[in-house]
Structure 1
């Protein structure tokens, strides 16, 4: 197997591993900060003792997740020099700036104040300690912003010029205000909040059902987790809709591929199910809602939504002969899997919120049993969402400027990639198992009584 395909597989595997932990870091940091704010501000002595322990409890889960995110993220930067040196040569002037800023303004800030937060209990005032975790939450999400600044340029290049076969930055302000960032970052942030909320929901459900001593305390976080997750989910839907409208202008091929819209339509239908024949590029069987796709994209300037085949012809005329259609079937079903999981999570959140609002969390023990087993749902949704974002721009690594096939290191062999890919995959799997085991063991052993003492 050639180095290009293997390098894409290697980067995809390591990225998915890393992205399992990133959303939880972003969302859970905010949740822990909110929880500690409640601890600082509460005037109820009984709840104050328990809430302090809940902050430490979810803070420990955050630290485990953060550690795995750091370990899996370090490898990503080596890929650019080892597997994708032509990309680094072409894009280094632009891609290097946000990555450097991510380290200087976000990661150092995040790691420093996380250390102060971990060791600052009883050494700092309550308010100063709470400020530390808010700084960690801010820095975590600032880190995501800088990474997505770089990624947004790859999706929609702005503020650059081509000089001697390299892309060079001409306008840093245009780079950080790229309209593509607005939709991509907001969607990432809100989906992270939803993911963290579901994690809190799943852990709290298990504690409510199996730990009678901790039941009262975790009933509170069960309700809080449901609210936090629902806020994130509804905001994710709104940001995703906004981003889809922008894609109609910035990257219509990705948008039409997600919908498997092969021919230009006005108004365009929304396909619920489609059996796609990749050889003839036609839909043999489909279930559609007439005009629904155009309705969702009501601000499309022309009114019509361009089909994949028309866009293929336009791109071939602009960039030269070649295949400019991405993996349509993969994008189509990934999008629907993501939407389906989101709908199921909303249903589970609403049921949980109703039960906790009525102060009857044990009224539906089946729900409490099922929630921990459904914890993979948001992780799957995040992974397929990231696949849509990255696979949707293929065959480009930088849309309109550099194709993926042109970015791979010229002296790389398939054997080189096989060895490192197998090594990283096995190592990451072992690390994930160890982290999961530590987290499970911690959840099972930790007890939090409302009286403010461990049982």
Structure 2
């Protein structure tokens, strides 16, 4: 079915592009709030310069992210109208709250923060950026509430062929939300930390504004190690949740066709043969899969063949096995990227403690491409989560094929896919251009009067010392 394939491609492409900006905005808002708190507490101008310099990236990223987010919601009515009609009463509520509450909080206080420099009292101005940070985190919560219903539908009743909410608290406290939200917040903090660390490392390699960028690495390095460790811990919580709520996704992520031994080993790499339904050439770590699944070093994991038979009995004839290779390898890419992030932040903390971070050229060179590691982990984690749910668009209630709009032609979807891709390309070019320009200018920009301006939101200014 061409319409289904094109709609899925469009949803994946626009979601992945939008997902560049969401975690970066959440993480940068928090890091900037911490930097401004240091400025208010310690009264050192270098912290103000840090807030204003990294604030530029946050504002650029936030602006582009808003545009890409609008298209996300537009798609539900355009390509997925059957899905929207079926779950609109449940799925629409958290999206509406996110837009009317969290997004307006972010937008209002971003405005006050931008134009409030040297106008609002310092503590009140500081409260603005903290409210922005809180708003971004709350926004993520409501989005995850909506997504978690797709993964684990709760708090509803089927009325007149539609899912209608009958327990808002059950929707809000969905176990999927409780394990996914910490994971998302830690991932966002790690994304922003590596973004700041990578740009700072590049500037230190070039010997530009050394004291500024050396100082800029301190806060994100600490946040980076805490958040990467948090990702690992919260990821383990998600694994123990999956074995109960979505065992087929867990089995696909591990390439398990037949029930495992007890205890079950975790597969590092393997050859997946989907035609013969076999996984061979395994490199395994004993006991680890049992620990991931149950939190203890014993316990078997049901295979996809067993689960397929159970699903056929429950839901009728059909193929309930997701794309195994995609689910399997996306999970391993995510784990590999996360492991590298933990390793690099630990090395960075050691070098910072030894006070030789700015002279460790080899390490700094690694940190520049490491900007991409959190994004790779974010993308692969999202792919694993969504593809591992297939063939369901709402787990156990509606298949993805049934959620497509019945009256939208393949040509219409293809046209919008090309149009959105063109717009996204222009946005990406503009964003990259502005980022590069900001990096090249550095934190101290010459004003028209010949002074040095460290304030990106106000014109003019005097040279500010460190």
**Superposition TM-score, scaled by structure 2 size:** 0.93
**Separation (CA, whole Å) in 2 of partners of 1:442 and 1:356:** 26
**Separation (CA, whole Å) in 1 of partners of 2:73 and 2:168:** 22
Compared CA separation, residues 285 and 25, structure 1 to 2 (3 A): same
Q: Which residue of 2 aligns with 1:340?
A: 336
**Separation (CA, whole Å) in 2 of partners of 1:431 and 1:439:** 12
Please report how far the alpha carbon of residue 366 of structure 1 lies from its aligned counterpart in structure 2 after TM superposition: 2.4
Please report how far the alpha carbon of residue 380 of structure 1 lies from its aligned counterpart in structure 2 after TM superposition: 1.1
Q: Which residue of 1 aligns with 2:256?
A: 261
Are the equivalent residues in 1 in contact too, given 2:389–2:395 (CA < 8 A)? yes
Q: Which moved more, 1:19-28 or 1:444-453?
A: 444-453
Q: Which moved more, 1:291-300 or 1:25-34?
A: 291-300
Q: 2:61 aligned with 1:50, yes or no?
A: no
Picking from 296, 303, 325, the partner of 2:299 is 303
Are the equivalent residues in 1 in contact too, given 2:253–2:324 (CA < 8 A)? yes
**Separation (CA, whole Å) in 2 of partners of 1:446 and 1:283:** 51
Are the equivalent residues in 1 in contact too, given 2:53–2:443 (CA < 8 A)? no
Please report how far the alpha carbon of residue 356 of structure 1 lies from its aligned counterpart in structure 2 after TM superposition: 2.0
Q: Which residue of 1 aligns with 2:457?
A: none
Q: Which runs of 5+ in 2 are unaligned?
A: 445-451, 455-461
**Superposition TM-score, scaled by structure 1 size:** 0.96
**Separation (CA, whole Å) in 2 of partners of 1:338 and 1:31:** 23
Q: Which residue of 1 aligns with 2:391?
A: 395
Number of residue pairs matched by the alignment: 450
Q: Which runs of 5+ in 1 are unaligned?
A: none
**Separation (CA, whole Å) in 1 of partners of 2:312 and 2:80:** 25
Please report how far the alpha carbon of residue 211 of structure 1 lies from its aligned counterpart in structure 2 after TM superposition: 4.2
Picking from 204, 207, 232, the partner of 1:208 is 204
Please report how far the alpha carbon of residue 354 of structure 1 lies from its aligned counterpart in structure 2 after TM superposition: 1.8
Q: Which moved more, 1:291-300 or 1:307-316?
A: 291-300
Q: Which residue of 2 aligns with 1:287?
A: 283
**Separation (CA, whole Å) in 2 of partners of 1:422 and 1:71:** 17
Q: 2:139 aligned with 1:143, yes or no?
A: yes
Please report how far the alpha carbon of residue 299 of structure 1 lies from its aligned counterpart in structure 2 after TM superposition: 5.0
Are the equivalent residues in 2 in contact too, given 1:223–1:357 (CA < 8 A)? no
Q: Which residue of 1 aligns with 2:2?
A: 2
Q: Which residue of 1 aligns with 2:16?
A: 16
Picking from 75, 82, 87, the partner of 2:83 is 87
Write out aligned runs for 1:381-420 (5 A): 381-420=377-416
Picking from 392, 416, 439, the partner of 2:435 is 439
**Separation (CA, whole Å) in 2 of partners of 1:374 and 1:173:** 40
- Alpha-carbon RMSD across the aligned residues, in angstroms, is 1.8
Compared CA separation, residues 222 and 299, structure 1 to 2 (3 A): closer
Please report how far the alpha carbon of residue 145 of structure 1 lies from its aligned counterpart in structure 2 after TM superposition: 0.4
Picking from 238, 242, 247, the partner of 2:242 is 247
What does the per-residue CA deviation read over 1:307-328, in whole Å, with 9 as the maximum and x for residues that have no partner?
1110011001100000000011
Spell out structure 1 runs of 4+ moving beyond 4 A. Answer: 448-452
**Separation (CA, whole Å) in 2 of partners of 1:401 and 1:447:** 53
Q: Which residue of 1 aligns with 2:156?
A: 160
Please report how far the alpha carbon of residue 343 of structure 1 lies from its aligned counterpart in structure 2 after TM superposition: 1.2
- Residue 161 of structure 1: SS of its match in structure 2? strand
**Separation (CA, whole Å) in 2 of partners of 1:410 and 1:298:** 42
Compared CA separation, residues 49 and 454, structure 1 to 2 (3 A): closer
Q: Which residue of 2 aligns with 1:236?
A: 231
